[in-house]
Amino acid sequence: MSLTDVAAQPPVRIGHFRPRRLLVALLFVLLAVAPGELGSLTRSLMVDAYTQVSVFVAATLILFYGAERVFKFNIGEALKGANRWQVPMAALLGATPGCGGAVVVVAAYSSGNVRFGAVVATLTATMGDAAFLLIATRPDAAAVVLPLSFAVGILSGWIVDRLPSISLTPPDKPMPQVPRIGRPRIKDWLFGLLAMPGLIIGITQLAGGDLEQIYGPALPIIGLTGTAIGLFIWATSRLVAMSNMHDAPITRMAEETSFISVWVIGAYLAYDYLVAFGGVDLELLFGSVLPLLPLMGVLIGLVPGCGPQVLVTTMYVNGLIPFAALMGNAISNDGDALFPAIALDPKAAFWATIYSTVPALIMAYGFFWFAPGVLN
């Protein structure tokens, strides 16, 4: 069954709570309404997470998915006929912020449209959802990480394609089914509409404006309301992370932004709670194992999913780990695209991960030894 066949399935009913997600959402709410410094700090961090990251993720996704819908571009077929350009195109899709581009390449591999080198290229180039956080908070670092990951992905894919003895054939299995939601829901439109003023606030902040003076009480209202809607969407969703490519762009944006936002909020809270209440000197702690930090970044990148990678990026943004560790993590991590790869062909997923680990170690310790002060 192809992705087109999946799309032909009847829409799945959405709207019940997932117990584990509901517990996490309720925990966030309880922390936000807690009295004293705990509640005040939590609300402030939620507003920051929304205006600094979530609204930019939403804007990027709606542009990407909107263009995909308007132009009706079949990426799988384009990759199949790309010949020598297949690997660079796959790497470019992987370098696109988020996991959607890399998942498309994995889907194309499952249907026999691309070679294994394209899979290696896209998984090496992708930074997953952590790219959104980096672009929003450290665009200078993103301007280095993303192009370098793209270039390393191309090189890795070309090398793998020239090793026929270890190249793998596409498996004869269908892609894991992604539930289809159907028509856009009220909560999708609410999330999208609120993201518009939120984006204006985020841009104002990037421009150096005084948000409290300019927006006053509107700032926490927009930030906390947007956060609450996002938590509700995430807690009531049957989706794991990625959305069905045939759902409306507004729905896909709301679902995937909400998923990313939960991890961003968690990362923000974890860091500031340790500093404010834990009495932990994180800079001293990580400074004591400085030579191991690039290796740690690479190893965390081997963990499937985007959550751990968002945490690594958060540590970099807060000055806890060097750029070398972030660079290694960006190349070694495969984001959510590794999940369907594992489901389709564990052997292929394993080797693709191994292939991305080697250049990740080279790049990480290359920056650590030869450019230790770059972007730190």
Model confidence over 29-85: pLDDT tens digits?
999 999 999 999 999 999 988 988 888 888 878 887 888 788 776 676 777 777 789
Higher pLDDT, 241 or 264: 264
Burial classification of residue 176, based on how many CB atoms lie within 10 Å of its CB (0-12 exposed, 13-18 middle, 19 or more buried): middle
Tens-digit pLDDT profile for residues 93-113: 899 887 777 877 887 787 677
For the stretch 312-343, pLDDT in tens is 888 898 888 999 999 999 999 987 777 777 76
Please give the structure tokens belonging to residue 355.
């292939």
pLDDT of residue 14: 39
pLDDT at 9 over 60: no
Radius of gyration for the chain, computed over Cα atoms and rounded to the nearest angstrom: 20
Question: How much of the chain, in percent, has pLDDT values that exceed 70?
Answer: 88
* Residue 319 neighbours by CB distance under 10 Å: 11
What is the rounded CA–CA span in Å between residue 247 and residue 8?
11
Q: Specify the higher pLDDT residue, 177 or 67.
A: 67
Between residues 67 and 13, the one the model is more confident about: 67
Residue appearing with tokens 């959802």: 129
Backbone angles phi, psi at 366, to 5 degrees: -65, -45
Q: Where are the alpha helices (DSSP H) in the chain?
A: 3-8, 19-33, 36-49, 55-71, 75-80, 86-95, 100-110, 116-125, 130-137, 139-161, 186-206, 211-215, 218-235, 249-276, 282-287, 293-301, 307-317, 323-332, 338-344, 346-370
pLDDT of residue 11: 38
pLDDT at 4 over 60: no
Q: Is 355 helix (H, G, I), strand (E, B) or coil?
A: helix
Angle made by CA atoms 239, 309, 178, in degrees to the nearest 5: 15
The stretch 210-214 carries a mean pLDDT of: 88
Which pLDDT belongs to residue 12? 38
- Give 337's DSSP letter: G
What is the reported pLDDT for 282?
63
Q: What is the mean pLDDT of the chain?
A: 83
* pLDDT for the residue 142: 94
What pLDDT does residue 281 have?
67
What is the model's pTM? 0.74
Question: In the beta sheet, which residues pair with residue 128?
Answer: 98
The predicted pLDDT at position 271 comes to: 78
Q: Are 229 and 250 in contact (CB under 8 A)?
A: no
Q: What's residue 283's pLDDT?
A: 67
Contact 47, 224 (CB under 8 A): yes
